[in-house]
Structure 1
Amino acid sequence: MNQLHGMKLAYAAITLNAVIVGFSFLFTKMALQQATPLDTLVYRFAISFAVMTIPVLFGQVKLNFRGKRLLAALPLAALYPLGFFTLQTFGLQHATSSEGGILYAFTPVLTMIIASLFLRERTTAFQKLSIFLSAFGVVFIFAMKGSGIDWSNMTGILLLFLSCLTSAGYSVLARSLLKTFKPAEVTYLMLGIGFMIFLIASVTNHTASGTLHTIFEPLLSGTFIISVLYLGIFSSLLTALTANYALSKLEASKVGVFSNLSTIVSIVAGAAFLKEEITIYALIGSIMIIAGVMGTNRMGRRSKTINYEAKKKNVKA
């Protein structure tokens, strides 16, 4: 019963994760109107790290790194947030956000491949088809909008692809580390390392360009403050906690496919806040995405139920 309850919480956590990420695109656009990408990342991770540090200091969140291999967690932070956000930021300087959205749709596919190689996770033919269906749903939405990939722009495409690869690698490595680390411990390390590295990079960049005095200027904007509060508390801290918790309970391939739900959320957010039209092709693509997510995870739950029942019969025998 506890295992089943944990799995239900994991599915709820990763669904919440997708919803938060879907709205993060809107808040990221708002923040970038007031600050550079690097400064936005600094404030984003400063807030997330500070917010999590408060309950840690008061003992409400207990972390225990004694006897654990902290060096093993460093590659995780190198993949996410450092690698992912750095590659994504520079990739979007050379490519469009639509190209980024199309490529990011295939992150679950990369996750499935890497998880099968390094974690020996097995997926059925139906689950593989479901993952590809979910990815195709995202591509269908962008394609019907008239978006596509300009293959002549290989610099941006390569950087965005590498950002997807780091995201997939993070899911697989986190799944492995969470056998010895608690989700909160992994999250705290990720946020702390991310904040320190981005702060050093931002201060170095401002010092070199003689603009260090402008680093606090974005805080004069109420829009920026609201945006980074959302990005820091929800889209960094809460998404890290929910993703790490889900990965501690579910296979990486099952968790990865939920990322495509954020495309549906961004469509709803655009309609609600930017008065964008929800088209018929957006609905069709959304149905593909949802069907893909349900297919990937439904088959997994069924196989676990069968295995559980088989074990019960063996015990009785």
Structure 2
Amino acid sequence: MKKNNALLAATIFSIIIGLSFMFVKITLTYEGQLLILAQRFTFAFLGVLVFCVIKPVSLRLNPRETALVFLISLFYPLIFFSSQILGLDHSTVTEAGIIQAIAPAITVLLASLFLKEHIQKIQGIGIFLSIAGVIFLQLMSRSGNYEFHLIGNLLIVVSILATAVYQIMSRSVTQKVSPLQVTIYIIFVGFIFFNSIYFIQNGSLNEYAHSMTKLPYLLSILFLGVLSTAGTSLLSIFAVSKLPVIQVSVFNNLATLITILSGIIILNEPFHYYHIIGAIVIILGVLLVNAHNQPRRIYEKKK
């Protein structure tokens, strides 16, 4: 039952993440990056507060646990959300979705290094293909009228790295700290950090409030704050606390597909044949990476 709940959490997490790229792109047509991040975490924090009122949660942690949770928050939300929104401001939802497909490959590499999870030969081939697909997209962009957004896509890769590190660290931390406690603390850190930076950079309360009078923007921020920030934080932490990190990473395939489709169907973004070839190569690599989703440890404990 716990495994099924974890799989369901990973599925819902991937669907929300897949749609979040589109909503971030929508908000960027209305406001600047810093204000979006500040308001996103304000709504995420308000959502967490409402939850805590309905179901009180103990937030007591020892000093070591507190330090680990704050270290996690450095990668997620701080590095992840900063690089993601900057990347989407200089790229397209479609490109970001395709590049997102390398996330499982990166997760496998980091899991093998830090969690001592063994990489099968077929997974190594998959990692190579995933990275080759991204390189192919960049090389092909040099011909024709297709514009490859190098800076934006590199920032998306940084956000993927941050997510991988966050998931691996969460796997260890949640053995001692509950997923809900971790979620509350990292949301609080993001709320304080992004709002502080916004107001330090001469942000005004009038602008803060006025921006939310635009209905499309408000609905997008609500989705990003409550579901895509607070919701996915809890869902992903819960999933990796019950399942191997590599097994959870396979659900990025679903997020990738939803992101690409939302960019093409809803935002009417162009989709060139370069995208098709690159996506096929990347997703093929991802499938090979996850061909063995029950990893074994390199170093078994002695009985």
Residue in structure 1 matched with residue 230 of structure 2 by the alignment: 237
CA distance in 2, matches of 1:92, 1:197: 21
Is the CA contact (8 Å cut-off) linking 1:99 and 1:147 kept in structure 2? no
Let me know the Cα RMSD of the aligned residues. 3.4
Between stretches 113-122 and 248-257, larger displacement belongs to: 248-257
Q: Which amino acid aligns with 2:208?
A: I
> Are the structure 2 counterparts of residues 167 and 66 from structure 1 closer, same or farther at C-alpha, using a change threshold of 3 Å?
closer
Residue in structure 2 matched with residue 63 of structure 1 by the alignment: 58
Is the CA contact (8 Å cut-off) linking 2:33 and 2:86 kept in structure 1? no
CA distance in 2, matches of 1:284, 1:156: 20
Aligned pair count reads 291
CA shift, 1:175, in A, is 1.1
Residue in structure 2 matched with residue 105 of structure 1 by the alignment: 101
Is the CA contact (8 Å cut-off) linking 2:105 and 2:130 kept in structure 1? no
Is the CA contact (8 Å cut-off) linking 2:104 and 2:289 kept in structure 1? no
Between stretches 28-37 and 74-83, larger displacement belongs to: 28-37
Indicate whether 1:117 and 2:110 are aligned: no
Residue in structure 2 matched with residue 168 of structure 1 by the alignment: 164
> Are the structure 2 counterparts of residues 80 and 139 from structure 1 closer, same or farther at C-alpha, using a change threshold of 3 Å?
same
CA distance in 1, matches of 2:200, 2:177: 33
Residue in structure 2 matched with residue 77 of structure 1 by the alignment: 73
Please identify which structure carries the higher helix content.
1
Residue in structure 1 matched with residue 300 of structure 2 by the alignment: none
Question: What does residue range 182-193 of structure 1 map to in structure 2 within 5 Å?
Answer: 182-193=178-189
CA distance in 1, matches of 2:193, 2:145: 38
CA distance in 2, matches of 1:90, 1:284: 26
Is the CA contact (8 Å cut-off) linking 2:24 and 2:220 kept in structure 1? yes
CA shift, 1:46, in A, is 1.1
Question: Secondary structure of the equivalent of 2:202?
Answer: helix
CA distance in 2, matches of 1:140, 1:11: 33
Residue in structure 2 matched with residue 25 of structure 1 by the alignment: 21
> Are the structure 2 counterparts of residues 19 and 137 from structure 1 closer, same or farther at C-alpha, using a change threshold of 3 Å?
farther
Q: Which amino acid aligns with 2:169?
A: L
Is the CA contact (8 Å cut-off) linking 1:108 and 1:257 kept in structure 2? yes
Q: Which amino acid aligns with 1:187?
A: T
> How high is the sequence identity, in percent, across the aligned residues?
31
CA distance in 1, matches of 2:101, 2:24: 19
Q: Which of 242, 245, 254 is equivalent to 1:261? A: 254
CA shift, 1:117, in A, is 1.5
Indicate whether 1:202 and 2:198 are aligned: yes
Question: Secondary structure of the equivalent of 1:226?
Answer: helix
> Are the structure 2 counterparts of residues 246 and 296 from structure 1 closer, same or farther at C-alpha, using a change threshold of 3 Å?
farther
- TM-superposition CA deviations, 1:200-226 (whole Å, max 9, x none): 00011125xxx5532222111001111
User: Unpaired runs of 5+ in structure 1?
Assistant: 305-317
Residue in structure 2 matched with residue 96 of structure 1 by the alignment: 91
> Are the structure 2 counterparts of residues 139 and 19 from structure 1 closer, same or farther at C-alpha, using a change threshold of 3 Å?
farther
CA distance in 1, matches of 2:155, 2:271: 30
TM (normalized to structure 1)? 0.76
CA shift, 1:10, in A, is 2.0
CA distance in 2, matches of 1:56, 1:12: 23
Residue in structure 2 matched with residue 249 of structure 1 by the alignment: 242
CA shift, 1:27, in A, is 1.1
CA distance in 1, matches of 2:5, 2:281: 24
Q: Which amino acid aligns with 2:74?
A: A
Question: What does residue range 206-221 of structure 1 map to in structure 2 within 5 Å?
Answer: 206-207=202-203, 211=204, 213-221=206-214
CA shift, 1:243, in A, is 0.8
Between stretches 233-242 and 84-93, larger displacement belongs to: 84-93
CA shift, 1:77, in A, is 0.4
